[in-house]
Structure 1
Amino acid sequence: MTETVLSIDNLQTHFFTRGGVVKAVNGVSLSVNRGEILGLVGESGSGKSITGFSILGLVDEPGRIVGGSIRLLDRELVGLPDPELRRLRGGRMAMIFQDPMMTLNPVLRIETQMIEAIQAHEKVSRKEAWTRARDGLAQVGIPSPEERLKCYPHELSGGMRQRVAIAIAFLNRPDFIVADEPTTALDVTIQSQILAEAQKLCRDSGTAMIWITHDLSVVAGLADTIAVMYAGRVVETGAAAEVVAAPRHPYTSGLIRSVPGEHMTGKRLFQIPGMTPSLLRLGAECPFSERCFARTPVCAQVPDLVPDLVPGHGATEEAAIGDNRHPRAVRCHHPLSAAEPLPTGPLSAELPS
């Protein structure tokens, strides 16, 4: 049986500012199974990072969770006192930040930081903690791990520091990890290596992960499931391969078609018109309606996220419906189908591996 490690139901995280209430996360529901990776995708300001911070209880004032549920296995996290959340962070759940220096202390050796991370959650000897730290660095592909343990963070390259941050996140064999765009600043070669290592670690350890990114080409080959966010809401979910092959929401289609591909040589890159609406002034209408070619008067009301039962773009019925672990769902009054192609070229783009 597949075990659900993290379950989010109708999560709402708002920021109470002088200008008004920013609904950064506005009714998000997600779940991640053991050993699987969920790719949380969206452009800047869509609410994906705030979703990750909300899970770990890292939202600072003026933001706060105002509704919904976050369950880590048998534990409800919403409303949990800070001391209990601190005991869970680094132990049963962890986070990999975009900047590894948010994880690493610049004035402490790597071995000191990794040993303290272990001993903060488990009663083990320093020798055993050192051995686990060394093995953790080896797992993420760091050569000569004994020597690297003696280094300070500034003595390592950016890619090496990010590998150390990933190793620290996996040190205590957590049930769940949030990875917030950890490869954005790295070159493509190092990025692909880290993606492969993160995927292998999740498979081997059974850790569930949410990988937050704006780049669909990253999660296309990494994630088991994709959830696409727009203006604080999830607009489409499903198995990664099916979402990429047969997007149902116009926004998802636009994201995929804006990725350069080999077949697009000499052609203009597709661009979604307009900009994301202000989260201070979200009305009753679908927030994507002003940018959508398929809008009609019914789009004056926000659609619900409903199971997707109609195959599209040549997908089989099974692909559209999805399986029990990765069900398809879409939040759109006019989900795309094979009979409704966009007027400006092919709907799917070949994503670089």
Structure 2
Amino acid sequence: MSHHPLLEVRGLQTRFFTRAGAVNAVNNVSFTLERGKILGLVGESGSGKSVTGFSIMGLVDKPGRVVGGQVLFNGRDLGQLREREMRKLRGNRIAMIFQDPMMTLNPVLRIDTQMIETVLAHKKVSRAQARELARDTIGMMGIASPEDRLMAYPHQLSGGMRQRIAIAIALLHQPDVIIADEPTTALDVTIQGQILSEIQNLTERYGTSLIWITHDLSVVAGLADEVAVMYAGRIVEYGSVSDVLDRTTHPYTMGLLNSLPSNNRHGTRLKQIPGMTPSLLSLPDRCAFADRCAHRTQACERMPERTAVSESHWVRCFNPILIEEAA
């Protein structure tokens, strides 16, 4: 029997058809995710990382549309499923945690009502059993007094507590894959650290695979197994955490690393990547990062293909940073 990765994304393309023209939000993105592994999807705002997550889930709203590529889950092409079949998978085998927990939580319903309905949507159990599962899942997230939390309305909870509840809802059915779209960005560092630790423990316990979407490479360093760095709708560098963070080869990845406060001497100005992300409406038919890159040469007037750095590490760049140069 042939082995399928749990999730395989092949040449994914998503466009938004606006009056101004077609926005190439996700442009030929490919990666695989094995069971129990965590992939960090990293990039600036507007790089296409969130739209990649929504495209996998089949949640791209008009005027957006997936126009090419495949998303294979356990070997099944999700693009070929009817909406009813996709709904069976969504929230059950594949779940998403949003940046704003209020995208998950209904402000006018108590937490227990929302969690019980989520359980009953996919499991044939009694309401009492569904409530018990909801309470236990909240407890697993390290939330004290889960019974009291179940009786609360979302507005009665803090931002960190709401996000924990939203994560608990995503975990209710012990899904195979969770896509987390910057769920800790709005939280303070202490709460963020606690939630990251809880997520890591839960993925280890259940063998759940995770795509963690973020702009913060320091979060990915302590959480992920593999990293995909996105720029202007494309993955520009991909590999294991140690490959991408310790043997960085793409100038954009190096720019992201250099802009972290921890990588700058105290009292000095933060290093910034010059310029702006190009408009996804009119992407040049060449390296999209060229205008901001100190390593630019004549070769960059063409579109870079994937180049292997090692067996587990590739980059889209004509002038990759050499390891000795980066050291």
Normalising by structure 2, we get a TM-score of 0.96
Instruction: Check if 1:141 corresponds to 2:126.
Output: no
- The answer on whether the counterparts of 2:264 and 2:271 sit within 8 Å (CA) in structure 1 is no
Q: What is the Cα deviation at residue 190 of structure 1? A: 0.2
Aligned to 1:82: 83
Q: CA RMSD in A?
A: 1.5
Deviations 1:213-237 (A, max 9, x none): 1111111101111100000000001
- The answer on whether the counterparts of 1:132 and 1:171 sit within 8 Å (CA) in structure 2 is yes
Deviations 1:302-321 (A, max 9, x none): 11122213xxxxxxxxxxx4
- The answer on whether the counterparts of 2:248 and 2:323 sit within 8 Å (CA) in structure 1 is no
CA distance in 1, matches of 2:90, 2:196: 23
Deviations 1:143-165 (A, max 9, x none): 01111111111111110110000
Q: What is the Cα deviation at residue 3 of structure 1? A: 6.4
Q: Which amino acid aligns with 2:322?
A: S
Alignment of 1:1-353 (within 5 A): 4-261=5-262, 264-309=265-310, 321=311, 327-341=312-326
Give the gaps of 5 or more residues in structure 2.
none
CA distance in 2, matches of 1:39, 1:113: 29
Q: Which amino acid aligns with 2:178?
A: I
- The answer on whether the counterparts of 1:15 and 1:64 sit within 8 Å (CA) in structure 2 is yes
SS of the residue aligned with 2:132?
A: helix
SS of the residue aligned with 2:65?
A: strand
Normalising by structure 1, we get a TM-score of 0.90
SS of the residue aligned with 1:234?
A: strand
CA distance in 1, matches of 2:156, 2:174: 27
CA distance in 1, matches of 2:52, 2:323: 33
Aligned to 1:316: none
Give the gaps of 5 or more residues in structure 1.
310-320, 322-326, 342-346, 348-353
Stretches (4+) displaced over 3 A: 338-341
Return closer, same or farther for 1:43/1:172 CA change in 2, 3 Å cut-off: same
CA distance in 2, matches of 1:189, 1:304: 40
Q: What is the Cα deviation at residue 263 of structure 1? A: 5.8
Deviations 1:104-129 (A, max 9, x none): 11111111111111110010111211
* Count of aligned pairs: 326
- The answer on whether the counterparts of 1:238 and 1:328 sit within 8 Å (CA) in structure 2 is yes
Q: What is the Cα deviation at residue 339 of structure 1? A: 4.4
Could you tell which deviates more after superposition, 71-80 or 295-304?
71-80
